Amino acid sequence: MACLGIDLGTSNSLIAVFDDDGPRLLPNALGEYLTPSVVGLADDNQTLLVGKPAKMRLVRHPSLTAARFKRLMGTPKQIRLGRRSYSAVELSAMVLKSLKADAEAALGCAVTDVVISVPAYFNALQRQATKDAAEIAGLTVQRLINEPTAAALASGVQNRDEESSFVVLDLGGGTFDVSILEMFEGVMEVRASSGDAFLGGDDFTEALARHAATKAGIDWSRLDPAGLEALLALAEDAKRRLAAGRSVTGRAAVGGREVELTISDDEFAALTEPLLERMRRPIEASFYDSGLSADQVDRVILVGGATRMAAVRSLAARVFRQLPDGRVDPDHAVALGAAVQAGLVSKHQGLRDVVMTDLAPFSLGIDTARRISGKRYSTNRFEPLIERNTLLPASRAETFVTIADNQSEFAMQIFQGESAIASENIKLGDLFVYLPRGPAGQEAVNVRFT
């Protein structure tokens, strides 16, 4: 039974398989590779629609349609469709179930084992939510792979004998990731990874939609769901058409009035300059963490449909002082790379000589207290055991001692993040170890993260 790769995206999702001919995409029931990550209800308020049929109803029936829910993974927020509410996990499970059915129809066999791509900057809660969605859909996740790493696999597996350094910029609908990788002697190693889990093509679309609303004298905060979706659809269409032309004009009916949007490349770049600046920060962080400079990067690979924007491609060219590699389809690369990872997991014969390494995107550790003087302690301090950008797999241990006489318990809170203040990071859980009573500093606990 084959292990398949899935790109569960904010805007679109894809599924691919690795066979003797290499990675290839599998079509959905409509014969298309891209399945919109949209779920909706039909007019009967009971029949669930997934993919393109749901997306076609988004503007006219926003209260019965859900999109862009990937950004809510790992949060308790619910999305109401008709008479009931759904979590982002449940909605993602519906998309995965649709992909599973399409793959089984294309391959003629049952599909259970999958590798699913996630943004490199997804935290542990978001990654677990992705696994939960897969389980609901009847899938077993063999591995989660970071999206830029998957894109690098799709691009680099054909050139496994070359030695090179390359960067992957992955700007999808809802997230932005940067990874700097090196390829040598069949080993693909991630040197550094950074990103922004709340920056994506949807933010560029919203900036353009807000601009159109302002020009038309419409108060953005007073828009009803139908008007909001109509403006976002107008902006999305203009953004896509800008990739092929220097200036575009579009119109949409919003609240009973016609709104016209005319925008040029230069105007769009100026309008989205704050978003482009946000893209620079993870890039600079990756350079710092990897110890490499722009001059040492051999290739720049752009992934995600949002990288088709001229403003994004221009930013990449300026930062890296070279034109991005155009050989990789930005919409397909992540799914194909996930399929390559699936081939590695299932030990496919054609991939036996490829080794893939990755990094921890965040630091992992516990909260601690430290003696200041006498019996005074500084509490709520974050002590990382596995630091950000540690090569995986990894195992680290530290020893901690009691801080009070007759202390009977060692209570640890597990955190993920980079702040020195423990409570400012993301809490993953608690662990308690009971101790024999004794003087402060006598009893010790060895804490290991693997």
Q: Which range, of 234-238, 357-361, 433-437, averages the lowest pLDDT?
A: 357-361
Residues annotated as catalytic (active site), given as ranges: 7, 70, 147, 170
Q: What is the 3-state secondary structure (H, E, C) of 378-425?
A: EEEEEEEEECCCCEECCCEEEEEECCCCCCCEEEEEEEECCCCEHHHC
Q: Which residue type does 400 have?
A: F
pLDDT of residue 57: 94
pLDDT of residue 156: 65
pLDDT of residue 388: 92
Give SS3 for 281. Answer: helix
| Region class of 186: left (phi > 0), else alpha (psi between -120 and 50), else beta | left
CA–CA dist 36, 30 (Å, integer): 12
Distance between the two ends of the chain, CA-based, in angstroms?
A: 30
Tell me the per-residue pLDDT of 147-161, one tens digit each, with 9 for 90 and over.
Answer: 998 998 887 655 556
Residue 62: pLDDT band with limits 50, 70, 90:
very high
pLDDT of residue 157: 52
pLDDT of residue 301: 93
Give SS3 for 50. Answer: strand
pLDDT of residue 353: 65
Q: Which whole-number Å values give the CA distances from 375 to 52, 378, 405, in the listed order?
A: 64, 10, 11
Tell me the per-residue pLDDT of 187-228, one tens digit each, with 9 for 90 and over.
Answer: 888 999 899 988 999 999 999 999 999 999 999 988 999 899
Is there a contact between 65 and 71 (Cβ–Cβ < 8 Å)?
Answer: no
Residue 366 has pLDDT above 70, yes or no: yes
Q: What burial class does residue 5 get, using C-beta atoms within 10 Å of its C-beta: 0-12 exposed, 13-18 middle, 19+ buried? A: buried
Domains of the chain: 4-199+275-359 (3.30.420.40), 201-273 (3.90.640.10), 364-449 (2.60.34.10)
Q: What is the pTM of this model?
A: 0.90
Please give the average per-residue pLDDT across 50-73, as a whole number.
94
Q: What is the DSSP letter of 36?
A: E
Per 3-state DSSP, the chain is made up of helix, strand and coil in percentages (nearest 5) of 35, 35, 30
Tell me the per-residue pLDDT of 44-58, one tens digit each, with 9 for 90 and over.
Answer: 888 999 999 999 999
CA–CA dist 260, 252 (Å, integer): 7
Quick one: which of 305, 20, 26 has its CA closest to 151? 305
pLDDT of residue 186: 73
What token pair was written down for 35? 């399945």
Please give the average per-residue pLDDT across 326-331, as a whole number.
86
Quick one: which of 120, 126, 7 has its CA closest to 71? 126
Q: Which whole-number Å values give the CA distances from 134 to 141, 142, 144, 294, 429, in the listed order?
A: 7, 11, 11, 38, 22
Is there a contact between 227 and 198 (Cβ–Cβ < 8 Å)?
Answer: no
Sign of torsion, CA 211 213 218 224?
A: negative
Please give the average per-residue pLDDT across 7-16, as a whole number.
97
Kindly report the average pLDDT of the chain as a whole number. 91
pLDDT of residue 159: 59
Please give the average per-residue pLDDT across 352-373, as a whole number.
83
pLDDT of residue 380: 92
Please give the average per-residue pLDDT across 317-344, as a whole number.
92
Residue 145: pLDDT band with limits 50, 70, 90:
very high
- Return all residues near 34 (Cβ < 8 A) that are at least 6 apart: 12, 13, 14, 331
pLDDT of residue 350: 67
Tell me the per-residue pLDDT of 254-311, one tens digit each, with 9 for 90 and over.
Answer: 878 889 999 998 999 999 999 999 999 999 999 999 999 999 999 999 999 999 999 9
Q: Which residue has the higher pLDDT, 188 or 107?
A: 107
pLDDT of residue 322: 94
Quick one: which of 389, 370, 388, 390 has its CA closest to 380? 370
What token pair was written down for 220? 């953005």
pLDDT of residue 349: 74
